[in-house]
Structure 1
Amino acid sequence: MSERKHVIILGGGITGLAAAFYVQKYAKETGKLVTFTLLESSSRLGGKIETIKENGFVIERGPDSYLARKTVMTELAKEVGLEKELVSNETGQAYILHNMRLHPIPEGAVMGVPTKVMPFVFTPLFSIFGKTRAVFDLVLPKRSDSSKDISVGHFFRRRLGDEVVDRLIEPLLSGIYAGKIDQLSLQSTFPQFVETEKKHRSLIVGMKKSQPKLVKTQKTEKKKGAFLTFKNGLSSFVSALKASLPEEHIKTGVKAESVERLEDGTYSVKMEDGSILAADHVIVTTPYAVTKKLFNEKLFPADFHKTKPTSVATVAMEFNEDEVSFSLDGTGFVIAKSEKTSITACTWTSRKWPHTTPKGKVLLRCYVGRADDQGIVHESDEVILNKVLDDLKKIMGVVEKPEKYYVSRMIDSMPQYEVGHKEYVKQLRGTFEKELPGVLLAGAPYDGVGLPDCVNSAKRAVESLFTK
């Protein structure tokens, strides 16, 4: 990349914005003449990220935080001047709803895997049979072929049994992907468990050994939360990214219709209004269904993303403190699939993220929409609210209607990483490299659904352009 080059970035969500930032950054650092144009079909940037700030509340319509251990997001926040805006979540007890009772998640459970004996033995969440079956993990052999991808459900059921999976692991893990864990790819979602089994054979032993030891000087220190967000909401991160980029290089309300490779190796991006934009490289960050329409469908593996992305909705509710008599001693709860509830989880947001809520108020955020029951997401706001309140009345004794509420829908927002996902991505990118060199695929359909995963995917795509 020696002469002047132009990169078109399709999609103005977090992946597209991060890609634009890194193109600008690496062009400056390397002295290469590279410019970009970011195209977003909607009227706003940020994709699923959207924050409401009103009357002292900070309410997220989409994602509310990211995993602190995935540091690429924090590094980018520092680069756009938001380091001092970062806040960690408050720690506290989380619960599982089973048989319409809230059970504390046993102390020492790491992603559902027990690492402490006594809390696991005495929890009423599992039967004696379920507890005994889980202990088999200590003696079961490891898989003979750990390179073969299997489902998350199959892996954990073999090691810990159905009861622990259905009552603890499934509600904890499937909530991240809003999918069915018996179809979810282990290698593409939780590869650390593959390595744990390879190294230690037993998950219980391996996860226990992987936990940092608490030294005496740390015992009185407050436990740090595993998640980070921004004081003024995630939209402030979007605004900071946008502010770091030249305004004239960002186009909203414009839709790409197709991408075609020309004889000279450059690309022509045809817009919906008939206009044509020229590019040397194209970074595609759009949802997978949109991406397929931009190119020849023959490029895409037939079985890749054969399951439609799932939709979820959230209901954020504002209450006066005296209207919620239930003791919010913790951060919230998730719900076992066997329960006949509309909600799948509830975050006690005012407890987990105190900065989001004025004094004397309570903020709850409930989630609805399962992979095998998508109908509720498409109900009216009022119907969704009433179903959520009906559940909260039974679970928490909440009888009052909220002072204000916000129903947010994320339609087809959660790509389903089914078994074989990693190989499909490798195959697809190999095809693009051969047939459409210079067109790069990035974002949630391929490299992880978390915000840091999207940022990292964008960063790697841009780095590959600057190393050619």
Structure 2
Amino acid sequence: MKVAIIGAGISGLALAYYLQKLGIRYDLFESSSEVGGMVKSRAQSGYQLELGPHALQMNGELQDLLQELKLDSQIIWPAQAARQRFILRNGKFHSIPTSPLKLLLNSFFSWHTKLQISQEVQKPRQEIPGETVGHFFLRRFGQEVVDYLVQPLVAGVYGGDPDTLLLEKTFPAMKELERAHGSVLKGLVKQHKGEPSQIFTLAPGLQALPNAIASKLVSLHLDHEVEMIHKNRGKFFLSIRHDQEGLSDEEYDLVVLALPAHAAAELLEYTAPGLSAALQNVNYAPLTVVHTAYRKQNVGFTLNGLGALHPGKENPVSTGSIWSSSVFPAVCPEGEVLFSSFVHSGPASAAQVPQKVHRELQQNYSISGSPLFQHCHVWPKALPQPDQFILDVHRLAEVLEEEHLFACANWVAGPAVRDCIAFAKSIAQKIYSRRPSFQ
């Protein structure tokens, strides 16, 4: 058996790594000269910048992988302050309640909303096909919870709108709580397991993870752009630009797409036109990441926490900011603070974004003076949206596995790096289980 993997983001890298461990031959193709996809780190002018994910959340697969790659000694855990998270409301920051009881005792929500929250246990369970995140939380908890808790959280994670994102693809655990217990609150109380998984970073930057995986791979081909996938008599062939190794003559038993949806769509136009058409409908949220540094003495606000989310009701410039230097102090020079802000706009408005972010930070944190440093990075298509259009994509991708065409990307696995790694491991095991049919 031989597998072609197209795309060396974190999903493609992890899949190749796990296939290699299982003894399955593969070729991993990446069109650029760098691996990692959106996991990108840059050291610049004394600042450690994360241009994609700003921290990772641990799980079993990720912990094992870090140990195998000898990266566990490079793990940096966050400062104690990172346990606190805030939401902006009426121009002031409020600590996010972390439990159902705190939701009721905290002054963040009105008495009317607190009453709705307390009565959630009495509301009947409902099965609503295609229910959105916004609709689910509206019927269980009320509009204020949607506006000032759910909407900023969804915007922060997906860059999306809770009224369009599907509950089953975004927060399936919430629906399962309603099904199993008849109440989200009852379910949360019964399954309470203490503190959630802690976030962390790596001393050289998070890009050290994809780089370390790449260093272990024996069949990684950078600067190899796959232009087309062909299938003939049950075997796959690839058309590859700059193919100096003659890999276009190789035949593959399986192909795995580890690409953004729009890029995968182009390759499948003739091989799998149905999935190609569905992938073209996948919506992506753009993202501009702005890093801004100030002298600590010029910031008139105590940055004691992970950061703050900005609800859409507040008409913000950014969906939120991470207080990066409070979470991981080594990311900027001593005596300075570093903010990482997220704006869901594309390249067209990128020139104006840094100044707008600076003004917003000045207002929110009582900052005097100009930034010591600013850096702006634009992702035109950053986050795939789990809305109604993703349903056909997932259904067709599952069907095409029977034709030895697999998907391993964040539009099937979910947005978090740990989810992508866990999904890649499951795909590797699925491919391994099919090995006897190719021998």
User: What is the TM-score of this pair, normalised by structure 1?
Assistant: 0.85
2:190 counterpart residue number: 209
How far does residue 358 in structure 1 lie from its aligned partner after superposition?
3.4
How far does residue 202 in structure 1 lie from its aligned partner after superposition?
2.0
The secondary structure found in structure 1 opposite 2:325 is helix
Rounded Cα–Cα distance in structure 2 between residues aligned with 1:305 and 1:326: 45
Deviations 1:103-128 (A, max 9, x none): 2212x34xxxxx115x53441x3323
2:14 counterpart residue number: 18
RMSD between superposed Cα atoms in Å: 2.2
> Aligned runs of 1:378-393 on 2, under 5 Å?
378-381=348-351, 383-393=352-362
- Return the letter of the residue paired with 2:297: D
- Return the letter of the residue paired with 2:311: A
2:86 counterpart residue number: 95
How far does residue 209 in structure 1 lie from its aligned partner after superposition?
2.7
1:280 counterpart residue number: 253
Is 1:176 the counterpart of 2:144 in the alignment? no
Is 1:136 the counterpart of 2:119 in the alignment? yes
Deviations 1:220-260 (A, max 9, x none): xxx786212212211111221111123xx222222111111
> Aligned runs of 1:96-115 on 2, under 5 Å?
96-106=87-97, 108-109=98-99, 115=100
Is 1:323 the counterpart of 2:319 in the alignment? no
Select which of 91, 104, 129 maps to 1:120.
Answer: 104
1:396 counterpart residue number: 365
The secondary structure found in structure 2 opposite 1:204 is helix
How far does residue 207 in structure 1 lie from its aligned partner after superposition?
1.4
Rounded Cα–Cα distance in structure 2 between residues aligned with 1:162 and 1:140: 16
How far does residue 151 in structure 1 lie from its aligned partner after superposition?
1.1
1:217 counterpart residue number: none
> Aligned runs of 1:228-247 on 2, under 5 Å?
228-246=200-218
Q: Is the 8 A contact 2:57 2:197 kept in 1?
A: no
463 and 309 in structure 1: CA distance in 2 versus 1, 3 angstrom threshold: same
The percentage of counterpart residues that share the same residue type is 25
How far does residue 206 in structure 1 lie from its aligned partner after superposition?
2.0
126 and 47 in structure 1: CA distance in 2 versus 1, 3 angstrom threshold: same
409 and 287 in structure 1: CA distance in 2 versus 1, 3 angstrom threshold: same
- Return the letter of the residue paired with 1:445: W
Rounded Cα–Cα distance in structure 1 between residues aligned with 2:332 and 2:171: 33
Rounded Cα–Cα distance in structure 1 between residues aligned with 2:130 and 2:28: 36
2:229 counterpart residue number: 259
Deviations 1:294-343 (A, max 9, x none): 11353228556735211111111222222223211222100111112211
> Aligned runs of 1:37-436 on 2, under 5 Å?
37-54=27-44, 56-68=46-58, 70-90=59-79, 91-106=82-97, 108-109=98-99, 115-117=100-102, 120-123=104-107, 125-143=108-126, 145=127, 148-212=129-193, 226-246=198-218, 249-263=219-233, 265-273=234-242, 276-278=248-250, 279-295=252-268, 296=270, 298-300=273-275, 306-369=281-344, 374=345, 377-381=347-351, 383-419=352-388, 421=390, 424-430=393-399, 432-434=400-402
How far does residue 350 in structure 1 lie from its aligned partner after superposition?
0.7
2:437 counterpart residue number: none
Rounded Cα–Cα distance in structure 2 between residues aligned with 1:100 and 1:423: 41
Q: After alignment, is 59-68 or 416-425 more displaced?
A: 416-425
- Return the letter of the residue paired with 2:433: T
Rounded Cα–Cα distance in structure 2 between residues aligned with 1:175 and 1:199: 28
- Return the letter of the residue paired with 2:88: L
> Unpaired runs of 5+ in structure 1?
28-33, 110-114, 214-222
Deviations 1:63-92 (A, max 9, x none): 122222x32122211111111212232333
Rounded Cα–Cα distance in structure 2 between residues aligned with 1:102 and 1:344: 14
Rounded Cα–Cα distance in structure 1 between residues aligned with 2:222 and 2:116: 55
How far does residue 359 in structure 1 lie from its aligned partner after superposition?
2.5
Rounded Cα–Cα distance in structure 2 between residues aligned with 1:12 and 1:24: 15
Displacement over 6 Å in runs of 4+: none
395 and 324 in structure 1: CA distance in 2 versus 1, 3 angstrom threshold: same
Deviations 1:176-225 (A, max 9, x none): 11111111121122111112112222222221232236xxxxxxxxx786
277 and 189 in structure 1: CA distance in 2 versus 1, 3 angstrom threshold: farther
Q: After alignment, is 322-331 or 413-422 more displaced?
A: 413-422
58 and 339 in structure 1: CA distance in 2 versus 1, 3 angstrom threshold: same
Rounded Cα–Cα distance in structure 1 between residues aligned with 2:426 and 2:60: 14
Rounded Cα–Cα distance in structure 1 between residues aligned with 2:295 and 2:363: 19
The secondary structure found in structure 2 opposite 1:300 is helix
User: What is the TM-score of this pair, normalised by structure 2?
Assistant: 0.90
- Return the letter of the residue paired with 2:261: Y
Rounded Cα–Cα distance in structure 1 between residues aligned with 2:196 and 2:119: 33
465 and 171 in structure 1: CA distance in 2 versus 1, 3 angstrom threshold: same
- Return the letter of the residue paired with 2:33: S
Rounded Cα–Cα distance in structure 1 between residues aligned with 2:106 and 2:411: 41
The secondary structure found in structure 2 opposite 1:116 is helix
Instruction: Give the aligned length.
Output: 426
Rounded Cα–Cα distance in structure 2 between residues aligned with 1:399 and 1:96: 22
Q: After alignment, is 233-242 or 275-284 more displaced?
A: 275-284
> Unpaired runs of 5+ in structure 2?
435-439
Rounded Cα–Cα distance in structure 1 between residues aligned with 2:301 and 2:45: 24
Rounded Cα–Cα distance in structure 1 between residues aligned with 2:12 and 2:276: 24
- Return the letter of the residue paired with 2:39: I
240 and 301 in structure 1: CA distance in 2 versus 1, 3 angstrom threshold: closer
Rounded Cα–Cα distance in structure 1 between residues aligned with 2:334 and 2:242: 50
Q: After alignment, is 7-16 or 455-464 more displaced?
A: 455-464
Rounded Cα–Cα distance in structure 2 between residues aligned with 1:191 and 1:395: 34
Rounded Cα–Cα distance in structure 2 between residues aligned with 1:14 and 1:48: 8
